[in-house]
Chain A
Amino acid sequence: MDIEIIQGIISLLLLILLAPLFSGVVNKLKAKMTGRIGAPVLQPYYELKRLFRKETINASNSSFISRFSPILNFVAVIIAAAMLPVGFWKPLISFNGDIILFAYILGLARFFQILAAMDIGSSFEGMGAAREVTFALFAEPIFFFTIGSIAFVSGAASLYEIYHSIHLDNISYMVFVVICSISIFMLAVTECSRMPVDDPNTHLELTMIHEVMILDNSGFDLFLYQYSGYIKLFIYTVLEISFFNPFGKESYLVYAGIFIVIAFALAFLLGMAETITSRYRMKNIPQYLLFATAIGILNLLIFTFTQ
C-alpha cells in the first residue's frame, strides 16, 4: 500500500477517535470555570458506549427517512473528515475543488437531519429544524468567504493545497490568518451549536436549536447523531489548527505539541465563551453570523487588492 494512503487512514482514525475526547475536554474546562468538578474527560465515550447498547425506538408515524438519515448523517460527516488534512499528511480524499464538496457534504448531513426532524411530525422538532435552516443559511457564506479568500490567493482549490500554501513570510499574512481563524471559530460555534448561538445544555424546548431536532431519537440512532456531532466539532477545530501548520514544519514532535496546545486553547476559548456569555436572542444571531461573513469579505477584499 502506498504510504500516502496509510497516512490518510491514520489521520482519519485520529480525527474519529479523538473527537469525543475534545468534547470531553471542553466540558471539563467549562465545569472548572464555573466552579464545578464536572464529568470526567472520557464521559463522551461512556455516553456513546451506553447509547450503542440501547435499543432504537422510532416514532410510530415516522417513515423510512427517520431510519436511514442517522446513518447518512454519520457517513457524510466521516467523508468530510476524510477530506481534512491533519498536519502535512495528504488526506484520503483530495482532489481539485474539494472545498466545495467539503462544504456541501456537511450541508447534506444537515439536510437529512432536518428532514428526519420534520418526518416525526412533532411541532418542536419542526421549530428546531426551521431555526437550524435559518442559521445554516447565514453560516454558509462564512466558510466560503474565509476559506475562499485563501484559496483565491493561493490559486489552489483543495483543502490540502490551500493549507500547504500558507507561509508566514510577512507579518501581514500572519494577521490575515489570525482574522480567518476568528471567523472559522465563529463558524464552529454556529455549526456545532455551542453557546452564543445555541445552548447545548438547555432543557427548555423553546430555546433549543440543535438538541430539539434529536429529541425523539434513541439508542443507536442517537449514538450516530451524537458521534457525528462530536466529529463535526473536531473537524472545525482541526480546520482552525491547520492555520498554524507552518510553525510545526521542523518535526512531527513539534507539530504534535502545537496541535495539542492549540486544541487546548480552543477548548479553553469555547469553554470561556460558554461561561461568560449567555445565548443571544434569536433575532440577534443573524447579525452575529453576518459579522463573521463581513470579516471574510474584508479578507477577500484585502487579498484581492494587495496582490
Chain B
Amino acid sequence: MENVLSILFCLSLFYVSLTLRVKGYIAVLRSQGIILAILLLYPFIYDFSVYGVIIPLTILIIKVFFIPRYINKIILDLDIKRQVEPTIQQMTFLPLVIASMILIFLATHIISLITKIDVIPFASGFSAIVVGIYIMIFRKKLIVHVVGFLIMENGIFLFGTAVASELPMMIELGVLLDVFVVVFLMGIALNKIRSSFEGIEVTQLGRLKD
C-alpha cells in the first residue's frame, strides 16, 4: 500500500513538472495532501486509536483545505496571471526530473543495501525534495516558489515515514504549524510587496532597494 501511494506521489511530481498552470500546481498540492493523509491513516484500519488519528486528520485539513484555499485567495487578491513562467525551456524540465529520479532510485538502492529502508517511499520522498528545489530554481513567480516549498515539505514528510515509522506527535504537529506559518507569512509578504512595489516576480525583485 505504501508503494502504491508513493507511485501516485511520483506521478503527481511528473504532472507538476509538466503543467504550466498555477491551477494544476494547486491541484497537485491537494492530491499530495490526500495521499499523505491516506498513507498515515492506513495503519489505523487494523488498530484504531484516537490519539494516532489526530495528525493525519490535521494534515488533511491543513494541506488539503487551508493551504490551497489560501494560495487561491492570494492569487485572486493580487490578480496574478495564472500561468507559470519558467526561466529555462519548459521542454528541458521533465527530462531533468526524470534523470534526477533515476539517479535517486539508484542511490536509494545502494543505500538500502547498507541500512534497512523502504526503497520506493524513500526515493519518492527524495525526488519530491529535488523537484521542489527545481521548481524554486527554475520558476519566476513567487507564489510558485511557495508551492515548490510545500512540495519539498511533502517530500520530507514521505521521506520521514520511510525512515522512521513513527515520529513523536509533538514534532509532527510542530512541523505542520511551521509550514502553515511559513505559507501565511509568505502570503502577507507578497501582499506587502505588491502594495509598495509593482511586480511579484523574482527577476523584478532585483531592483528592490531600501
* Contacts from A to B (Cβ < 8 Å): 171-172, 175-176, 179, 286-288, 290-291, 293-295, 297-298, 301-302, 304-306
A-contact 0/1 string along B89-109, CB 8 Å cutoff: 011001101100110010011
Of B4, B97, B102, B105, which one neighbours A172 at CB under 8 angstroms?
B4
23 A-B pairs in the complex with CB atoms less than 8 angstroms apart: A171-B1, A175-B7, A175-B8, A179-B7, A287-B18, A287-B91, A288-B18, A290-B94, A290-B98, A291-B15, A294-B14, A295-B14, A297-B101, A297-B102, A298-B10, A298-B101, A301-B101, A301-B105, A305-B108, A305-B112, A305-B120, A306-B119, A306-B120
A87 to B24, CA, bound (A): 39
* Contacts from B to A (Cβ < 8 Å): 1, 3-4, 7-8, 10-11, 14-15, 18, 90-91, 94-95, 97-98, 101-102, 105, 108-109, 112, 119-120, 123
Task: Point out the residues of chain A lying under 8 angstroms from B108, CB to CB.
Answer: 305
Contact check, A287 vs B102: say whether CB atoms are below 8 A apart: no
A177 CB, nearest partner CB in chain B, Å: 12
A48 to B15, CA, bound (A): 40
A277 CB, nearest partner CB in chain B, Å: 14
Q: Select from chain A the residue with minimum beta-carbon distance to B10.
A: A298
Contact check, A305 vs B105: say whether CB atoms are below 8 A apart: yes
The secondary-structure label for the interface of chain B is helix
Task: Point out the residues of chain B lying under 8 angstroms from A305, CB to CB.
Answer: 105, 108-109, 112, 119-120, 123
- Please judge, given known A-B contacts A172-B3, A295-B14, whether A302 and B94 are in contact too, CB under 8 Å: no
Contact check, B11 vs A295: say whether CB atoms are below 8 A apart: yes
Q: Select from chain A the residue with minimum beta-carbon distance to B112.
A: A305
Shortest Cβ-Cβ A-B pairs, 8 listed: A301-B105, A175-B4, A305-B119, A294-B14, A172-B3, A290-B94, A294-B98, A172-B4
Contact check, A298 vs B4: say whether CB atoms are below 8 A apart: no
- Please judge, given known A-B contacts A305-B105, A305-B108, A306-B120, whether A294 and B7 are in contact too, CB under 8 Å: no
A152 to B10, CA, bound (A): 21
Given A287-B18, A305-B108, output 12 extra A-B contacts at Cβ < 8 Å: A172-B7, A175-B7, A175-B8, A287-B91, A295-B14, A297-B98, A297-B101, A302-B120, A305-B105, A305-B112, A305-B119, A305-B120
A175 to B105, CA, bound (A): 19
A305 to B101, CA, bound (A): 13
B128 CB, nearest partner CB in chain A, Å: 13
B122 CB, nearest partner CB in chain A, Å: 10
Contact check, A298 vs B18: say whether CB atoms are below 8 A apart: no
- Please judge, given known A-B contacts A287-B90, A290-B94, A291-B18, whether A298 and B7 are in contact too, CB under 8 Å: yes
- Please judge, given known A-B contacts A286-B91, A295-B14, whether A302 and B7 are in contact too, CB under 8 Å: yes
A306 to B90, CA, bound (A): 32
A236 to B153, CA, bound (A): 40
A302 to B101, CA, bound (A): 11
A288 to B20, CA, bound (A): 12
A141 CB, nearest partner CB in chain B, Å: 11
A102 CB, nearest partner CB in chain B, Å: 25
B15 CB, nearest partner CB in chain A, Å: 8
Task: Point out the residues of chain B lying under 8 angstroms from A171, CB to CB.
Answer: 1, 4
A290 to B101, CA, bound (A): 14
A154 to B197, CA, bound (A): 60
Candidate in A294, A295, A297 with the most chain B CB atoms within 10 angstroms: A294
A297 to B127, CA, bound (A): 14
Of B1, B94, B97, B102, which one neighbours A301 at CB under 8 angstroms?
B102
A305 to B98, CA, bound (A): 16
Task: Point out the residues of chain A lying under 8 angstroms from B8, CB to CB.
Answer: 175
Of B3, B10, B18, which one neighbours A306 at CB under 8 angstroms?
B3
A219 to B90, CA, bound (A): 44
A179 to B14, CA, bound (A): 13
Contact check, A298 vs B120: say whether CB atoms are below 8 A apart: no
Task: Point out the residues of chain A lying under 8 angstroms from B98, CB to CB.
Answer: 290, 293-294, 297
Q: Select from chain A the residue with minimum beta-carbon distance to B14.
A: A294
B117 CB, nearest partner CB in chain A, Å: 11
